Amino acid sequence: MVEVATKPKLSDVINRYFSHLKEIQIQPDRGHPDVEVDCAARVHICKTVCCRFKLALTREEVERGLKFDIDNPYIMRKGSDGYCYETKDGGCGIYESRPVACRTYSCAKDKRVWEDFDRMIPGKRVREMSFQV
Ligand code: SF4
Ligand code: SF4
């Protein structure tokens, strides 16, 4: 017997779409690129937590081959360590062609990363992570 696929209900599709949007943690318009961030002086504390956030790829980025999570289109794929798939040697392996979300993001006003940016006091996401990695 051939199984006939049932059409998903529109309400289910809409609910899935909105819960998907809520999960995205870095979007191109959510950064604060006006504030210069001295990453090199901070990575020993932040552990590059920004490369663990979910980030949304643009259509152009998907089309040029950036890998996304098959179960979460079009969220940048992560490795088994929870870091972005393109992380390499503790840095970005595709720095020159990294997604626009990475280019425009700044952690300077992101309380998940820095409870106090100037005094380099880590935020909740970083503190939680120190037990994971
Ligand atoms: S969390 Fe901030 S300081 Fe750390 S690597 Fe990312 S942008 Fe740089
Ligand atoms: S593309 Fe590069 S900068 Fe962006 S999350 Fe991945 S490793 Fe980090």
- Please give the Cα distance from 35 to 110 (Å, whole number): 11
pLDDT at residue 29 in the model: 47
Which is nearest to 52 in space by CA: 74, 81, 32? 81
Report residue 21: phi and psi, to 5°: -60, -40
- Answer whether 46 contacts ligand 1 (Cβ < 6 A): yes
Give residue 116's identity as a one-letter amino acid code.
Answer: D
Give the position, in ligand 1's atom list, of the atom nearest the Cα of 126. 1
Q: Are 133 and 100 in contact (CB under 8 A)?
A: no
pLDDT at residue 40 in the model: 93
Q: What average pLDDT does the structure give for the chain?
A: 84
Give the position, in ligand 2's atom list, of the atom nearest the Cα of 94. 2
Q: Is-cis flag, bond preceding 74, omega within 30?
A: yes
pLDDT at residue 131 in the model: 55
- Answer whether 92 contacts ligand 2 (Cβ < 6 A): yes
**How many percent of the chain have pLDDT more than 90?**
65
Give residue 7's identity as a one-letter amino acid code.
Answer: K
pLDDT digits (tens, 9 = 90+) for 62-93: 999 999 999 999 999 999 999 999 999 989 99
> Is 70 exceeded by the pLDDT of residue 32?
no
